[in-house]
Amino acid sequence: MMEYVLKTNHLTKRYHGVNVLQNVQVTLEAGKIYGLIGQNGAGKTTLMKLVSGLTFPTEGNIELFGQSGEGNLQKERKRLGCMIEYPGFIPYMTAQENLTYHRIVRGEPSKTIVSELLNLVGLKDTGKKKAKNFSLGMKQRLGIAIALIGDPELLILDEPINGLDPIGVVEIRKLLTRLCEERQMTILISSHNLPELYQMATNYLIIHQGKIKQSLTLEELEENCKHYILIGCDQPEKLASILEMKLGTTNYKVMPDKTIKLYDHLDDKNLVAKVISDNGIVVINFSLEGDTLEDYFISVIGGERND
């Protein structure tokens, strides 16, 4: 049986008559990293706030670890770790004191977890430096460390790599990937840095104007973003056999509209064109197609490519 960590059913959030989230149906499976992609104001943070209990749905409901209802959700939230909008910390305390504070809040008995987490996020050498004097990147790391107290099963991170330097980004990416792999932690992460998200997430949720426009796996995304030569012709069956016989490739797809997507020989279009022409096939369309992640995102939300 599939194990769902989070499931939302027709989740709607309305502010002053305006739908910020509309009929959102999301299902998160254990041990995966979900990238939540959306423009500013798309509803990413609202969705995270609803899941974490900071706000309440107007309609619909949330299931956390198979439990629903406000009382049950509250209990199940002990299995969450969150950093939403910006990292929360007590400015006049050191990183260690901040983690100690949150360790006590969570009733975590192990005192060694504080030094372990400081080590994990690269803040072990901050000593007596107050959190208010931290750089933005250090604050982000502290926020992530706080979210990791209690070994959460679902980690919700809103723009966690904001303000991190390139090395920090790589470290946090490796950390999150490791947490997912080693501890089967489910991570819901929003970011505007799509290439970075692409290197981390196993699944993607594309949200736009409060609606989930698409939910897809990394494989599906790669498939959708794959570059190919799109060939439209009068004899697709013949073209398919020529591709196999003359070009020695089976890496192509015949689409329902009888066009063919050829994924090989992208750097050798002249050869492809010559082979097709030499075999007397009339070409209607011959173009290099495929999306970058950004292009694909824009096309899904109905941006300029679809206009």
Report the interface residues with other proteins, using CB under 8 A.
49, 52-56, 74-82, 84, 86-93, 97, 100-102, 104-107, 146, 150, 156
Find the shortest distance in angstroms from Cβ 76 to other proteins.
7
- What would you report as the CA-atom Rg of the chain, rounded to the nearest whole angstrom? 24
Q: Is the four-CA dihedral 16, 17, 21, 25 of positive or negative sign?
A: positive
For other proteins, give the closer residue by CB, 75 or 274. Answer: 75
Q: Which two tokens stand for residue 269?
A: 């279009």
Find the shortest distance in angstroms from Cβ 260 to other proteins.
51
Instruction: Note the helical H segments in the chain.
Output: 44-52, 70-76, 95-105, 112-120, 136-147, 166-183, 194-198, 218-225, 236-245, 269-278, 293-300
For other proteins, give the closer residue by CB, 92 or 220. Answer: 92
Find the shortest distance in angstroms from Cβ 169 to other proteins.
23
Q: Is the four-CA dihedral 48, 50, 55, 58 of positive or negative sign?
A: positive
For other proteins, give the closer residue by CB, 77 or 211. Answer: 77
For other proteins, give the closer residue by CB, 77 or 124. Answer: 77
Find the shortest distance in angstroms from Cβ 40 to other proteins.
16
For other proteins, give the closer residue by CB, 109 or 248. Answer: 109
Q: How far is CA 57 from the centre of its chain?
A: 23
Find the shortest distance in angstroms from Cβ 86 to other proteins.
8
Contact 276, 283 (CB under 8 A): yes
